[in-house]
Chains A and B, each alone.
Chain A
Amino acid sequence: MKETPLSNCERRFLLRAIEEKKRLDGRQTYDYRNIKISFGTDYGCCIVELGKTRVLGQVSCELVSPKLNRATEGILFFNLELSQMAAPAFEPGRQSDLLVKLNRLLERCLRNSKCIDTESLCVVAGEKVWQIRVDLHLLNHDGNIIDAASIAAIVALCHFRRPDVSVQGDEVTLYTLEERDPVPLSIHHMPICVSFAFFQQGTYLLVDPNEREERVMDGLLVIAMNKHREICTIQSSGGIMLLKDQVLRCSKIAGVKVAEITELIQKALENDQKVRKEGGKFGFAESIANQRITAFRMEKAPVDTSDVEEKAEEIISEAEPPSEVVSKPVLWTPGTAQIGEGIENSWGDLEDSEKEDEDEGGSDEAIILDSIKMDTGEVSNIGSQDAPIVLSDSEEEEMIILEPDKNPKKIRTQTISATQVKAPSKKPVKKRKKKRAAN
């Protein structure tokens, strides 16, 4: 499948951000992404994660006859494969250019640098030598495949153990893993590739570009170095013109980065060694952390509604009809009126103290209520004082302020849009708990 093209907006955005020394994931110009190395149960199997780019490396060995012109040297074989799960653009037949370039670079980095002692791989000169095969698979492509692949290759090689062989005269004995412990490969140094991406014709550079940055870059410079600051391979692609001091600066940066990465690799190898020796658990399954997401889930409480109807009917039939409430506004003094009757106050002792508070709050309410009522606009004149209308959406209980010497009134719960009060002559003094704006 062809990869989706990058829109002009996104391209411009990335380039502008790089000009302002900003990267999308918040890294600095010379920062690497998080490198995570995990080992499998077999010797020589490892997965390297550089951010989201993942490479699986596996080393295997075999006894073969050597090459004719190199009778005393072992054979090294490197192979990098871009798996189809790495990116939608990788298809079985389609990836030739990138694949060739990566394979070539990897070979130059590992083979030509002589990091592995091939002489030590010889068993019987001219007849039997070890063939070491390094297979790398790209599992996920998020930019900078070459760095991740080179780290995976060297880590797998360092981790690998080949079966022990002893030669007595003409007798060659190959010991199995049970008979004798396997022997590590003899590795002189660890070359690691560091990639530099250049933008705007070499003006800006970034270390460890991710996939988006790779799409907009002009050129790529790869320097393979070991921790002794020896350059093993250097390659510039993309056709940009680099100045001498730029290349020198990059090599200095590469030196620093390689030292850090080598330290990380050593630590990872030591850890794995320790775990295996102590008999602890090792392997890929252990290195994958148990990710638990605590999900809030509102459990649906099952409600049995089968007999609701009958119960409701029972309640309705048994209940008394609601009493007729005739509301008559009573004007006590100009500015103080009372409408309606409530049910008996059941507060007991609190009655006396509460009433005093209510009286004080009452006068303020009157003015506020007045303005609210006038906004409603619908004032219908009923005519007599006998049937005032209160228009309110308030579903709250209305507490009627009780005069101490009057009969205790009942608190009435008001329903929506019942009646409308006539302003301004009658100003009901009510203490409402939460009054919503009357419609």
Chain B
Amino acid sequence: MYGFEALTFNIHAGYLEAIVRGHRAGLLTAADYNNLCQCETLDDIKMHLSATEYGPYLQNEPSPLHTTTIVEKCTLKLVDDYKHMLCQATEPLSTFLEYITYGHMIDNVVLIVTGTLHERDVQELLEKCHPLGMFDSIATLAVAQNMRELYRLVLVDTPLAPYFSECITSEDLDDMNIEIMRNTLYKAYLEDFYRFCQKLGGATAEIMSDLLSFEADRRAVNISINSIGTELTRDDRKKLYSNFGLFYPYGHEELAVCEDIDQVRGVMEKYPPYQSIFSKLSYGESQMLDKAFYEEEVKRLCLAFEQQFHYGVFFAYMRLREQEIRNLMWISECVAQNQKSRVHDSVVFIF
């Protein structure tokens, strides 16, 4: 339909597309969520999950369970699926799959650097890192005093190296610099991923540009809201927005000067695809905004499976699994805290 992918896609990626569609069928259903939301204890949750694809990962966990244990073990399932796909993939799919993990790599780098700044033990920090974002020299991050050293000692040999050009300084690392570093890296990563997908062309470019544009726009809104009342200047805020997406460039100009949530709402409502998000919220409310964004994201990710012969299904599967793990984390927290009435505040149903 776009560029004759139907003729050649299955030669190299047909097997993996079939695999990922099989994994998609294993996502939790509405019936599973109904059962989980009625659980009284974390052991009940474990019992219900034993009948799902998470069963083998949780079966050997002793009681009493902790919510972080459930999340860790469910994440291992995602990691195993990803590693299987990666080792079977050829170029350019293997590069595409690697791009999906760079976000976690950035989070891990920031976690280690922040924890080291707070004089935490490196081993303790490594245990908290996301497994999809691990790389060989990650523990060496703890010795860096500033971004220049961070780049020179560790990150120059990682896939994040090209993203550092915009944030290399000799200033010592502190909380504000680390936050700006995080967001600058993520901005560079998203832009790079976007360019890569555009180069792939065809259905992959079409579908991924929609998904990545949504990601960039969501980041812009979250940065705007989270920086209200902080020391981040308007210019610095604007520098953290990605150079693509529906808001680029005029929406970014307006978001940069917003001083409260209602002004952000005013900016978003000018864009028809995002009007439905705020229509669910009352004025001044920001608590349910995350859920509204997640619901919109899930809708777009599910639509990616409606087409064949593109790499977007891999990205969509990974993101849907991550959403599912977030749902399980929330349900576990509500059960553990005996607040089951609040369980539907943040659960996003996928199918």
| Chain A partners chain B | no
